[in-house]
Each structure stands twice: as structure tokens, then as C-alpha cells.
């Protein structure tokens, strides 16, 4: 079992698209990976997909998630990722 004690904050900017006549955004799927690194080589041991378009909206959003990861190695029985996700619309405009 591996647990990271210090929470790590990662800021990303994601471009999402939506139809001007709709309030929901298009799907934007991100894949979270847990990798094992040994002797300079990386291998994926667990992964999960998350649709970021579900969490975006006109008002700022903050959600706590427990994301179950799918094992990708026979050595991993189960894995999960707990994260806090916040979304804020920075700019709205027309795609060019």
C-alpha cells in the first residue's frame, strides 16, 4: 500500500467547447495513471478515466471525488485516487 501524505496541488487550464444553445460542455476525457518506475523504465499499474466536461459550468464548482482505478498489473489488487476538483470558467468566446 502506498499513501502520499502531503497533498499535491496541480493547476491545469483545459479548453472546453459547448453549443451556444446548450448549458452543458462537450466531453473532455482525461486518464489518470499510476506508474511504477524501475531501472529507468515506466509501466502503468493502474488507470482511470474522468470526464472533465461534467464538472464545468457557469458557476465555480468544487467537488471531492473518490476515483476507483482499474488495475493494469497482476501485482495490483485494488487502487483508488481521492482528489478535490475545482472548476472556474476563465474566458468564454467563439472558436476561431
- Write down the mean pLDDT value for the chain: 84
Q: Flag whether 6 is in a domain.
A: no
Give residue 95's Cα distance to chain centre: 24
C-alpha distances out from residue 19 to 25, 30, 52, Å? 7, 21, 16
Q: Flag whether 95 is in a domain.
A: no
Global confidence as pTM: 0.74
Q: Flag whether 53 is in a domain.
A: yes
CA dihedral sign, ordered 93, 84, 53, 45: positive
Overall domain count for the chain: 1
1 pLDDT higher than 80 = no
**Mean pLDDT, range 71-91, rounded to an integer:** 86
Q: Flag whether 67 is in a domain.
A: yes
CB atoms within 10 A of CB 25: 20
Q: Flag whether 48 is in a domain.
A: yes
List of residues 6+ apart from 66 with CB closer than 8 A:
80, 81, 82
| Residue position matching grid coordinates 524501475 | 38
The range of the structural domain enclosing residue 40 comes to 29-87
Amino acid at each position: 500500500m502506498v499513501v502520499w501524505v502531503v497533498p499535491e496541488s496541480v493547476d491545469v487550464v483545459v479548453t472546453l467547447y459547448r453549443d451556444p444553445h446548450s448549458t452543458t460542455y462537450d466531453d473532455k476525457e482525461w486518464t489518470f495513471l499510476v506508474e511504477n518506475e524501475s531501472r529507468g523504465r515506466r509501466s502503468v499499474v493502474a488507470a482511470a478515466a474522468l470526464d472533465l466536461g461534467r464538472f464545468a459550468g457557469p458557476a465555480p464548482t468544487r467537488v471531492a471525488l473518490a476515483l476507483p482505478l482499474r488495475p493494469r498489473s497482476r501485482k495490483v489488487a485494488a487502487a483508488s485516487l481521492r482528489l478535490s476538483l475545482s472548476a472556474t470558467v476563465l474566458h468564454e468566446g467563439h472558436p476561431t
